[in-house]
Amino acid sequence: MSVTPLPVVIQGGMGVAVSSWWMAADVARSGHLGVVSGTALDAVLARRLQDGDPQGHARRALAHFPDQAMAQRILDKYFKEGGRDGAPYRPNPTLTVSPSTAAVELSVAGNFVEVWLAKEGHDGLVGINFLEKIQMATPTAALGAMLADVDYVLMGAGIPREIPKLLTDLAAGRPGGITIDVAGATKRYTSTVDPVEVMGEYLPQLRRPQFLAIVSLHSLASYLYRDEEIRPEGFIVEGPPAGGHSAPPRGKMQLDDDGQPVYGLRDQPDLRKIAELGLPFWLAGAYSSPEKVAEALQIGATGVQCGTIFALSTDSGLAPAVRAQLMERLTSGSLSVRNDPRASPTGFPFKVARLPGTMSQPEVYHARPRLCDLSYLRTPYERPNGTLGYRCASEPEDAYLKKGGNLEDTIGRKCLCNGLMANIGIGQERKDGYHELPAVTLGQDLDGPAALLELHPQGWTATQAVEWLMTGASDAGAGRDRSVPA
């Protein structure tokens, strides 16, 4: 059995494509775990191809996809030499409980491309981050990532109890599936992908990646640990300040004067109990400084997972103009991030950076005609006649109500799918002239980024961020057993 060292630093998966493949590759090359975001990679690939794939990266990766006929079908449909010339992006097929062949192929290929590019030219570790809430996309996305030999799968925003088995089944070439939460369901629904059906004779031998569950409390870690079939290989323990979605506070939601959820002692994980489980664990959410790395190692953690310092790095997938605005505010000390309990249609609190011209501003939010076309965060529901429908609390209110949703749930909901695409410069430009605008997320702890800015006033690379973090590991981590059976 070979032994692979465990990384001290995990560069967190940041959607959509903020943790870019080139960022993940650089972190992996530096001996740590680089993670790409596994959210909406079907649309990311389709849109990059429609923008002409100027540097040829997506086409280079597709040229290594095991089934070249499938790769060609995707190129034929989406690739536009020279780009779109201002035309709207064509819609790509949405993922459902039983997705169409076109949707499956684009999801498998999109995830393959991102991981393949992150792994190109080195033998460092690369992971992919999924959200439990985006259930319908997970089986096909996992297959695509495994076709590119992904080393780690990470998942948060829910209870990822079925992922270990999904990865084991897919690695064995068997159909792999997960249960789908369907509102009003009178039976159990599953979404399954069959690697043999999708890849046919081109299915290579797959390797099972390690699975890290992102949890906020020790009770969830203990629950997942108890049964071998649902046990991950490790935990990332993520606290409320982390970027993106976070777990809501326990008990009845209380809001502060700024309308942000109030977290208390009951929301703090008992790290001693997590350490006692004996699996590797990393701490996330405001662990972005050498001092916090040292503290994590002293507690018995294997290391830390950081997001915000990487999202702000020069290797960020954020559109240059968005990153420049954030850096300007970080420099002047005026950057602020609000934990918005209503922004996300998932109902989970979501961090929103306050920036002019983005969805954080009420006038920008209200000026957007509601429309749901990307559909990653839709919830399936069972109609009285037993068929399935799909609804999103951010879609037009009347449509949502017709589908049995509550008006109350639509208030303040933002279209994160379109906003997150705009963050990375591939926002939709609608036929009616409306341009989708960014909805920028970031972590609430800005002390780490501010300290790093003092060292690198012109900005820092992902590698420099890792080097800085690791200055805290030199003493605390010495002699630690950093190996895991591979």
Ligand X SMILES: Cc1cc2nc3c(=O)[nH]c(=O)nc-3n(C[C@H](O)[C@H](O)[C@H](O)COP(=O)(O)O)c2cc1C
Binding residues for ligand X (CB under 6 A): 12-15, 18, 37, 39, 129, 131, 156-157, 214, 238, 241-244, 284-286, 288, 305-308, 311, 441-443, 445
Burial of 97 (0-12, 13-18, 19+ CB in 10 A): middle
Closest CB to ligand X among 195 and 427? 427
Please report how close the Cβ of residue 409 comes to ligand X at its closest, in angstroms. Answer: 22
Please report how close the Cβ of residue 229 comes to ligand X at its closest, in angstroms. Answer: 23
φ/ψ of 44, rounded to 5, equals: -60, -45
Closest CB to ligand X among 285 and 419? 285
- Which DSSP helix (H) or strand (E) runs through 133? none
Please report how close the Cβ of residue 39 comes to ligand X at its closest, in angstroms. Answer: 5
Q: Which residue is nearest to ligand X (CB)?
A: 307
Please report how close the Cβ of residue 165 comes to ligand X at its closest, in angstroms. Answer: 20
**Which among 199, 152, 201 has a CA at the least distance from the CA of 176?**
199
Contact 62, 113 (CB under 8 A): yes
Cα separations (Å) of 204 from 66, 106, 256, 360? 8, 18, 53, 45
Alpha helices per DSSP H over 179-280? 195-199, 218-226, 271-276
Rounded CA-CA distance 429/121 in Å is 35
Closest CB to ligand X among 192 and 260? 260
Please report how close the Cβ of residue 156 comes to ligand X at its closest, in angstroms. Answer: 4
Please report how close the Cβ of residue 118 comes to ligand X at its closest, in angstroms. Answer: 15
What does the block give as tokens for 383? 């109609």
Contact 419, 439 (CB under 8 A): yes
Please report how close the Cβ of residue 287 comes to ligand X at its closest, in angstroms. Answer: 6
Closest CB to ligand X among 38 and 164? 38
- Which DSSP helix (H) or strand (E) runs through 126? strand 125-131
Residue type at 321 in one-letter notation: A
Please report how close the Cβ of residue 316 comes to ligand X at its closest, in angstroms. Answer: 8
What does the block give as tokens for 260? 């942000």
Closest CB to ligand X among 53 and 129? 129
Closest CB to ligand X among 156 and 269? 156
Closest CB to ligand X among 230 and 284? 284
What does the block give as tokens for 37? 């975001």
Rounded CA-CA distance 234/170 in Å is 20
Closest CB to ligand X among 189 and 460? 460
Burial of 363 (0-12, 13-18, 19+ CB in 10 A): exposed
Rounded CA-CA distance 233/282 in Å is 12
